A = this chain, B = another copy of it.
Amino acid sequence: MKLGFIGLGHMGAAMAANLVKAGHDVSVFNRTPARARPLIELGAHEAASVGEACDGKEAVITMLADDDAASEIALGEGGLVARLPKGSMHLSMSSISVALSKRLARVHAQAGQRYIAAPVFGRPAMAAAGKLFIVVAGDPATVEACQPLFRAMGQKAIVIGTEPAAANLVKLSGNFLLAAMIECLGEAFALTRKGGVDPHAYLEILTNTLFSAPAYKTYGTIIADQKYEPAGFKMSLGLKDIRLALAAADSLATPMPVASLVHDHFLSGVAQGAGDSDWSALARLAAANAGL
């Protein structure tokens, strides 16, 4: 397919690379152009602007850091809504708010364009390996047309409904579950460490009994090793996502006390200068609160 790809952070660059390797014709754009270099060597074209990344494309994929970036790229002057050909699709894979996703759906429809939300679960290594989990929502025919793209980037694409924002809600709730799991592990490791249990032995028990899921292994290992730098996913981004989850919860009148608690701990971490540490440094806070 003839594609544009906008947003070449750790995740986006890896995803775009997999699309190129799968044989798609990909024009890449990033605010900091230097990040496009490795992709161009791989065979991607360089787009000098958002508009150039849109011109003549069947689909443009966006993988951006936050609502502000996504909103400017899509809705700003010379953005996707202005430049994407009629009938083409915007495949939004960023973790954005439910509110912005609803707005994009509305505005793209008014402009005669198609819009699919397809946020992902997985850290950069999984993106590089094409092993992301992709949660998809939108018009069924459009979703179907994206399947080759999903296959190039992920190990599984799960369709959750026809309303794009539902995929964003599921993504945010999933990130909440991950952050909450990290908080809980942090408390449990602090408790058992203070009780004299070896953290690695403890990790063995957890992941060999009831918690044999990849998420527990990944984060349990980081916590047992106390190795929060370099970040796979920064705490400042974790804070951003939990903020979006709470915003959705607020507008749906759903109290989420653990999400509130995790938000406050992320906020504390960022206030204390750990915004660039891995978000699992929540566990370092839990340990510090116990005097460790």
Contacts and interface: CB of A to CB of B under 8 A. Distances in A.
Tell me how many chains of this kind the complex includes.
Answer: 4
Interface stretch (A28-36, A53-61, A87-95, A177-185): A177-185
A243 B165 CA distance: 23
A82 interface: no
Interface in A41-69: none
Contacts of A243: 250
Given A177-B188, A184-B181, A205-B135, A268 B250 contact: no
A147 interface: no
A79 to B, nearest CB: 24
B253 A195 contact: no
Given A170-B205, A196-B163, A243-B250, A187 B268 contact: no
A215 interface: yes
Interface stretch (A5-13, A110-118, A153-161, A223-231): A153-161
22 contacts: A169-B197, A170-B202, A173-B202, A174-B188, A174-B210, A177-B185, A177-B206, A187-B259, A191-B245, A191-B249, A191-B256, A194-B254, A210-B214, A253-B267, A253-B271, A254-B289, A255-B264, A255-B265, A255-B268, A258-B258, A260-B260, A268-B291
